[in-house]
Amino acid sequence: MIDRDDLRRIRLFQGFSDPELDMVRVVAEEGMFEDGRLIIREGSPGERLYMIASGKVSITTEIAGAGTEEIKLMEAGDFFGEMSLLESLSVSASAFARGPCRLLWIDRKSFDRLIAEDMPIANKLLKAIILTFCERSRDTAKKIESYYRMSKF
């Protein structure tokens, strides 16, 4: 079973008590991914919420006429794949291991059960995802600003 300390380092679970972390430990799984391995493919159905225990993950997207571009480099403690779980939509970007990395994940069924069964856990999880979304929106707006400036050269 996954160590509590591994979960505590994930931003999603900061502030979780030991019993709350134990509920997550029961449903979370883990695996090693070697450098360059595809973790999720843009356009595929999202089935897992991934969390980075160690290593780095490159989030990429296909730009028409230009090929694959990295839009974000995620590090230990970050998580991804939650958007498609929440909306039941396809994955909006691909994820590749950048160097060897250890990932933890929760599948859709277990995620839905966690959210449905325990309101305090659900609200903590949702709040953590909301704050991450806020940060991503802020970052994306900043990137648009810098891309705009670059497009002027």
Partner 1 sequence: MADEKERLALLQETDLFRTLPAEALAAVAAKCEEGQAAEGTALLVEGKPADALFVVASGAVDYIKKVEEKRGLMLFRWERGDVFGLNSVMEGKENYVSAVAASPVTYLKLPVVDFWAVGSEDPLYEHRLFRQTLLIQSARLRQITVRLREFLAKIIK
* Positions that interact with partner 1 (CB under 8 A): 61, 63-66, 69, 71, 83, 86-87, 92-93, 119-120, 122-123, 126-127, 129-131, 133-138, 140-145, 147-151
Query: Toward partner 1, which CB reaches closer, 36 or 61?
Result: 61
- How far apart CA 151 and CA 74 sit, in angstroms, is 25
Q: What are phi and psi of 2, to 5 degrees?
A: -65, 140
Q: Which is nearer to partner 1, 53 or 74 (CB)?
A: 74
Q: By C-beta, is 32 or 137 nearer to partner 1?
A: 137
**Alpha carbon distance 23, 114 (integer Å):** 8
Smallest separation, CB 101 to partner 1 (Å) = 23
